[in-house]
Chain A
Amino acid sequence: MSQIDENHLTTASAGGAPDPGIEAHRPAHAANGAAGNRASAGGATPLQRDAARTIFEKGAPGRRAFVAPALDVPQVDVSELLPDRFRRAEPPRLPEVSEPEIVRHYVGISKRNFDLDSGFYPLGSCTMKHNPRLHERVAALPGHARLHPLQDPERAQGALELMWNLQQALAEIAGLPHVSLQPSAGSHGELAGVLMTRAYHEDRGETRHKVLTPDTSHGTNPATVTMAGLEVVKLATNADGGIDLDDLRAKTDGDVACLMLTNPNTLGVFDPNIAEIAEIVHGVGATLYYDGANLNAVMGLSRPGDMGFDIVHFNLHKSFTQPHGGGGPGSGPIAVSERIAPFLPRPLVVRRDQSGAAAGNGAARTAVFDLERDGERSIGRLRGFQGNYGCFVRAYAYICSLGADGLRDASETAVLNANYLLARLREKHVAEYLPLAYGELCMHEFVLSGGPMKRELQIKTLDLAKRLLDFGFHPPTVYFPLLVDEALMVEPTETETKETLDAFADAIAEILSEAAEDPEIARNAPYTTPVRRLDEVAAAKRPVIRQAPG
């Protein structure tokens, strides 16, 4: 701990109470409701006073939470079973703590997190919609939670049927007939998609090197392309926020394997030229890949397959409300067209209809579900076993709850909420400082540019985001997409009430008027969070990424 202790000493002397100037600029109604969370000067909050201590700094030698079952088999000297040269000399320095200490420690640090159940979380491109607790309950049923992944298919029929049903539902939502649930997250689904594209071209005796991605794409797209051994070619964005068709035409040739696209894209813009884009890409024999991060805008309203996409990945943790877990688990199933289907990863869940006789009972036809392991042209396996089944249970429960109408309603409401929030921000004159980057309306999210705010009010998007923390909101995504100056990307989702959207618009307006008076307030924010702005440069320069042995 020596290193960091030194840091503490050197920086602590410069610290102390928040900027005393804040007191004067405190909103007049700061004591009311959510506003109570705002800047208050004169000393630290209780959470701030409670300095972070890790579990490795707690406990005492000899304490324990685990009691091993008694040794009920004949005692044999350990050295006889495991020769000394294979044995660990010193046990790992894990904590020595009692159960109550563990619970108090983790409950304590959990309170240093903001979470979706506590407040509005309009993080663009992440679809932070409500996570129904029903899903946790059904996923925890022992028949799901304690099912071994190698259980014989005939004794895992419920699980396989669930996976089959989910595949069918996702296929219908995507408008593409074949689904693999295997990928572990969106980025893993992308990798599957690009590898399948490669395999498709190789199968036709072609080697293609280039993958087109717009400059608005998620960073995972280009990173995936490189991992799949292909080369990224960037496409320009036109004045309406869609793909620049001239640039696309110029760059689309016989060496292009694929175009990766998000639609609506990361600007919240649905590309109206999608049919033409598909035609251009298909015209040279390339495939069209749909990054499903923004599927929440179009469920039951428009389908990637009908737009001409060949491959789609879903983010079950976004559109289908699998909880985000602080950064996972995710799940990234893929749906593909007929021509890509032979290359899907294995194993695949298949349904075989047996006649009554074969099934050994009186029923006329019985569906039997199985795992298909063979596939001559398959890209192979992307991970162990069948995928993140626990996420499938939750996503499937969600689809069962909503049904066809409910899914469409979810997307309609998500788009309604985004447009309403945008309208509210206009009404409150926020748009003068934070104009919509592209278009008039938006889909399920929108991107504002903080450029004018920075110039006229001397606060950056980062400052606005940090000040929002004092107002009890999770900030939107910031500085993405990269081509928008001082970008602020807002995705309210369908599960928020109008009142919440109003309160958020009010908060932004208030922060701007506060900045007009004194930009230092936002520049030094936040004030009320467990810690204030952190030194990320120092963290990267001299990385301390584990507790030093003490």
Chain B
Amino acid sequence: LSRYTATTDADLDAMLKAIGVDSVQEIFDRQIPEAVRLGRALNLPDGLPEQEVYEHLRALAARNTSAEDELTFMGAGMYDHYVPALIDMLTERSEFLTPYTPYQPEISQGGLQVMFEYQTAISELTALPVSNASVYEGPSAVAAAGYLAKLHNGRRRLVISAGVHPHSIETLRTQAHGYGMDVVEVPLSGSHLTDERAWRAAIDEDTSAAIFAQPNFYGAVEDAQALSAAAKQAAGDGAGAGGGGAAPVVIAQVDPVVLGILKPPGECGVDVAVGEGQSLGNRLDFGGPSFGFFAAREEYLRRMPGRIAGETTDVDGRRGFVLTLQTREQHIRRDKATSNICTAQALNALAGVVYLTWLGRRGLVELGELLLARTHYARERLAGLEGVEKLHDQPVIREFAVRLDADVAAVRRRCAQQGVNPGVDLQALTGRAEDRGGLLVAITERRSRADIDRLAEVLEQAVAAERDPAVADDPAVAQKTVAA
């Protein structure tokens, strides 16, 4: 008898008798042809008692160096923000953890109201009127937005800035190949902003969507208004020749946690804002589960992917919530659906809305200002080190890039020995030649000034050691370099 099943021998006898068979085996034998029965035990280890499973999983966890074990400045899409204790407590409640999609609204008002509140919070954050109840995560949200653009205007080209996270660009390419669209990448200028001339030139009358990131992958704050306007104008320019001339759908992948201080996409001419929600109260979890958000102008509402909760009343006039606009969805519309997504990230979106509520109206601004100040401090501090320079001069909010005059992988290894993870090796992630020497450094509210100073100290030492092996070999010299 396994610990998750409950059939005693007496139960089994009674059940088989009721069914009218002699054994469980007979139920299978009568339904599965012998040729496709396994006929042997699976080649897997024997089951273990709970305490031994715990020990095994604990031992595996111990072989990972987590943000608990080192001073980390890694970001590039997921960030080590503090997750308040009340989120753990709420997401572990049976009532939120163990039900499924609210198909029966009368007994799912809790989950539906959470979705409604989440949609409201995302709308507020992005300054866009409609939001769905979540999609999988950031990069696939970009691909989902591309599909929305295709359904909206039926054109063939997706223009995307090289400033969008490389995982998003790759994901868009994978899925666009499926839905039959070409992806055109617009390079960045030398100042690590989307090259506006190239952006304008790339957008023509067959451009379905124009996609950029705010802030971009290199931490730089883009001129979102200018990019949106340029996209719409570029389409207008081409209109004479191409006929149609309606503007492409302007899509921005935005960092939600800085939207307390950064002009929101809805005020920058953006039509669809998507992004990674991990920063909002979700754990790192080695990459997931987190959630993706998806907000848009009203005209796109009926082409949105995923679940949407709406308000209504019951037969007695009580306020209630239901899943709405379901004729967009796969279980009704099948091959004509606006997306195949069904199960998304409800529990993670709950964490997201609780986090935004916890921060509150003022907290979101205060957090943004703190990140801005500390990130500025960190950038100036690192750029002042020998062999380290800023990759660009653009405004940054919680992440910035520097260029090391040394091998980044080797420097990172040296830092790791000191218990510091200085950030992400840019070139290793993007594969771009021009990113050689690049280090992407993220600052969360968990990284104090003392932590940043410690990073500067360790990084300086490591860079110096890599630039001059003699320094590395002689602790006295290394010490002197640091002192200098």
Contacts and interface: CB of A to CB of B under 8 A. Distances in A.
A116 B340 contact: no
A146 B361 contact: no
Contacts of B341: 185, 187-188
A416 B285 contact: no
Indicate the member of B89, B291, B347 with the most A CB atoms within 10 Å: B347
B286 A494 contact: no
A76 interface: yes
Nearest to A322: B289
B370 interface: yes
Interface in A291-314: 298-303, 306-307
Nearest to B106: A529
A200 interface: no
A116 B53 CA distance: 23
Contacts of B364: 91-92, 94
Contacts of A222: 330, 334-335, 337
Given A68-B445, A172-B42, A495-B6, A147 B319 contact: no
A228 B147 CA distance: 11
Contacts of A380: 170-171, 173-174, 177
15 contacts: A81-B372, A94-B361, A103-B86, A116-B94, A144-B285, A195-B177, A195-B178, A303-B38, A306-B38, A327-B100, A474-B99, A532-B316, A533-B314, A540-B324, A544-B312
Contacts of B33: 272, 274-275
A349 B91 CA distance: 29
Interface stretch (B121-129, B205-213, B233-241): B121-129
Interface string A351-393: 0000000000000000000000000000111111111111101
Contacts of B61: 138, 141-144, 158
Nearest to B308: A545
A259 B372 CA distance: 53
Contacts of A350: none
Contacts of B180: 229
A382 B174 contact: yes
B165 to A, nearest CB: 7
Interface stretch (B62-70, B185-193, B456-464, B470-478): B62-70
A400 interface: yes
Contacts of B173: 380
Given A66-B359, A534-B105, A7 B445 contact: no
Given A326-B101, A404-B41, A387 B62 contact: no
Interface in B107-130: 107-111, 113-114, 116-117, 119-121, 123-125, 127, 129-130
Interface string A171-186: 0110100000000111
Interface residues of B, number: 210
A397 interface: yes
Contacts of B455: none
Nearest to B329: A219
B178 A416 contact: no
A185 B100 CA distance: 13
A284 interface: no
Nearest to B124: A92
Contacts, number: 743
Interface in B124-169: 124-125, 127, 129-131, 133-134, 136-140, 147, 165, 167-168
Given A86-B262, A113-B109, A531-B106, A158 B63 contact: yes
Contact of A381 (B62, B84, B171): B171
Given A138-B54, A143-B63, A300-B42, A326 B102 contact: yes
Nearest to B92: A136
Interface in B369-396: 369-370, 372-374, 376-377, 395
Residue with the highest number of chain A CB atoms closer than 10 Å, among B59, B283, B331, B360: B360
Contacts of A219: 329-334, 337, 342
B289 A390 contact: yes
B106 A224 contact: no
Given A185-B342, A324-B343, A403-B48, 12 more contacts: A65-B360, A76-B376, A82-B262, A85-B263, A156-B65, A303-B36, A306-B36, A323-B347, A384-B167, A419-B27, A498-B11, A532-B314
A8 interface: yes
Which 5 pairs between the two chains have the least Cβ-Cβ distance?
A143-B61, A385-B287, A325-B347, A403-B47, A158-B63
Contacts of A151: 64-66, 74, 286, 421
A436 B43 CA distance: 36
B368 to A, nearest CB: 8
Interface residues of A, number: 216
B342 to A, nearest CB: 6
A157 to B, nearest CB: 5
Contacts of A28: none
A111 interface: yes
Given A146-B67, A156-B65, A544-B310, A169 B44 contact: yes
A111 B110 contact: yes
B53 A138 contact: yes
B106 A466 contact: yes
Given A387-B288, A390-B289, A533-B106, A106 B354 contact: yes
A407 interface: yes
B345 interface: yes
B463 to A, nearest CB: 18
A92 B319 contact: no
A492 B71 CA distance: 48
Interface in B310-336: 310-322, 324-327, 329-336
Contacts of B106: 466, 469, 526, 529-534
B252 to A, nearest CB: 13
A532 B107 CA distance: 9
B357 A55 contact: yes
A466 B108 CA distance: 13
B288 A390 contact: yes
A175 B39 CA distance: 13
A289 interface: no
B167 A88 contact: no
A417 B7 CA distance: 9
B80 A148 contact: yes
Contacts of A299: 42
A367 B72 CA distance: 27
B289 A48 contact: no
